[in-house]
Amino acid sequence: MRPSLLRSVLTAVLLALAASQSAQAGAPLAEFEVAAEAVAAHNRVALGYLRTGNTDLATLEVERLRTAWNALVDRFGNDRPDAFASERYAMTLADIGGRLAAAETLLRNGQPEAAETALAGIREALSRLRRESGVTVLADCVLDANAAMAALDVLDRAPLDWSASDTAARIAAAGDQYRGTLERCDGMAPPAVKTNPDFRRLIDGALASLTLVPKAVAERDGELFHRIVIELRAFDNLLAFRFG
């Protein structure tokens, strides 16, 4: 059995055993979140490289992700923060370990798109763990923003049928939803992030682009809407890459 696969199996067994034990005073949540952010940061970069087709750099970043993940498991595998329910915590860590092992195998086998899917699941698993436990961080709001952007993006289909009764309403509603989510992310960002020039450029730039959506709707201007979506897609991808 390959070392990485063996470690993943042992990790799953360890976490299952830990889940069955009675709860004791857990590790500090803030310390766990620092370790989780290290994992998430490498995952974001790996996803970014895969989206641009750079599998060599993605593979290198996945190796760094593996190092960060092993460090988290070594520290927190048997020392669960009290904020997280035991069963969900064990399932999440085992799930992420499996997804990471799968991504490593897929990259070695020349399947970058499938590897990207596996890595995206890591982001979602961490977010689900936090949401179910009432723990909120900026990365989870960015995930919501990405979903809101996807809902707006799917409406950008040429030619737009402005004669349909719901076209204008759907675009306006999707724009409002995306704007509201971005404003929520801006409001919950930690002070150091909120004043970060890159964060401000992405948030403020996206909000500025969204102010043009009502104009596109009022004028039934599909070309303008298309240009707006292109701008927003760029902001959205960078927001996920840097802060998701």
Buried b (16+ CB within 10 A) or exposed e, 27-48: bebeebbebbbbbbbbbbbbbb
Same domain, 210 and 229: yes
| Placement of tokens 């190092």 in the chain | 67
Same domain, 174 and 104: no
Digit-coded pLDDT (tens) for 162-192: 999 899 999 999 999 999 999 999 999 999 9
Looking at residue 137, the DSSP 8-state letter turns out to be -
The number of folded domains in the chain is: 2
Same domain, 142 and 128: no
Q: For the beta carbon of residue 223, count every other beta carbon within 10 angstroms.
A: 11
Phi, psi of 203 (to 5 degrees): -65, -50
Last residue of a domain, one of 132, 162, 186: 132
| Placement of tokens 């915590």 in the chain | 89
One pLDDT digit (tens) per residue for the chain, 244 residues? 444 544 554 454 444 444 433 334 457 898 999 999 999 999 999 998 998 899 999 999 999 999 999 999 999 998 899 999 988 999 999 999 999 999 999 999 999 999 999 999 999 999 999 999 998 889 999 999 999 999 999 999 878 899 998 999 999 999 999 999 999 999 999 999 999 999 999 999 999 999 999 999 999 999 999 999 999 999 999 999 889 8
- pLDDT on residue 24: 44
Q: For the beta carbon of residue 169, count every other beta carbon within 10 angstroms.
A: 11
Label residue 188 exposed, middle or buried (CB < 10 Å: 0-12, 13-18, 19+). Answer: middle
- pLDDT on residue 155: 94
Looking at residue 21, the DSSP 8-state letter turns out to be S
CATH at residue 209: 1.20.120
Nearest Cα neighbor of 178 from 160, 156, 162, 198 is: 156
Same domain, 125 and 213: no
Same domain, 118 and 160: no
Same domain, 32 and 68: yes
Last residue of a domain, one of 96, 111, 132: 132
What is the span of the domain harbouring residue 186? Answer: 138-243
Same domain, 163 and 80: no
Last residue of a domain, one of 106, 132, 158: 132
Angle at the Cα of 38 from the Cα atoms of 37 and 44, rounded to 5 degrees: 80
Same domain, 205 and 90: no
User: Does residue 159 have a cis bond before it (omega within 30 degrees)?
Assistant: yes
Same domain, 104 and 45: yes
Same domain, 100 and 150: no
Look up residue 75 and give its two tokens.
């520290």
Same domain, 121 and 159: no
DSSP string for 73-131: HHHHTT---TTS-HHHHHHHHHHHHHHHHHHHHHHHTT-HHHHHHHHHHHHHHHHHHHH
d(CA 11, CA 93) in angstroms, rounded, equals 8
Same domain, 107 and 190: no
Phi, psi of 2 (to 5 degrees): -65, 150
